[in-house]
Amino acid sequence: MLKRLYLATFSVSAALLAAPLSAMACTVCAGGASDATIEGYNASVLFLMATPYLVMGSIAGGIFFTYRRALKKRAQAEAAEEPIGELAWNQEESAR
């Protein structure tokens, strides 16, 4: 088992050493630093990075304002209604 592990580690290390020295970091790193395409990718990345915050903020804001509105409505409804009396427990009926 240990022998196989050594062999696998050696194989992977040998493959990495035999790989070309310079390689593209990712598929979109195709141009130089001043290339317009890079600027396009940068703009896209920034936009996509900001969007989740916007979306989650909208969801949180929507829930927050709905909650506040519901509380206000509930308070108004309770003020309008007469208070409920104390509930009685009836053993005969609850046993059914």
Partner 1 sequence: MAQSSTARKIDQAPILKEVKRPAFGGGEPPAPPVRSNPPIASNAWLAVFIFLGAEAMFFAGLIGAFLVFRVGSVIWPPPFQPRLPLGVTGFNTVLLLASAVTMRLALARTRAGDGAKAVRFLMLTASMGATFLLIQGYEWIELIHFGLTVSSSVYGGLFYTIIGFHALHVFGALVWLGIVYAKARRGRYSRRDCVGLQICALYWVFVVALWPVLYGFVYVY
CA gap 13, 9 in Å, rounded:
6
Residues 5, 17, 19, 87: which binds partner 1 (CB under 8 A)?
Answer: 87
Residues 13, 39, 75, 76: which binds partner 1 (CB under 8 A)?
Answer: 39
**DSSP string of 4-55, one letter each residue:** HHHHHHHHHHHHHHHS-SS--SSTT--S-TT-HHHHHHHHHHHHHHHHHHHH
9 vs 37, beta carbon nearer partner 1 = 37
Does 71 engage in binding with partner 1 (CB under 8 A)?
yes
Residue ranges binding partner 1 (CB under 8 A): 36-45, 47-48, 51-52, 54-56, 58-59, 62-63, 66-67, 70-71, 74, 78, 84-94
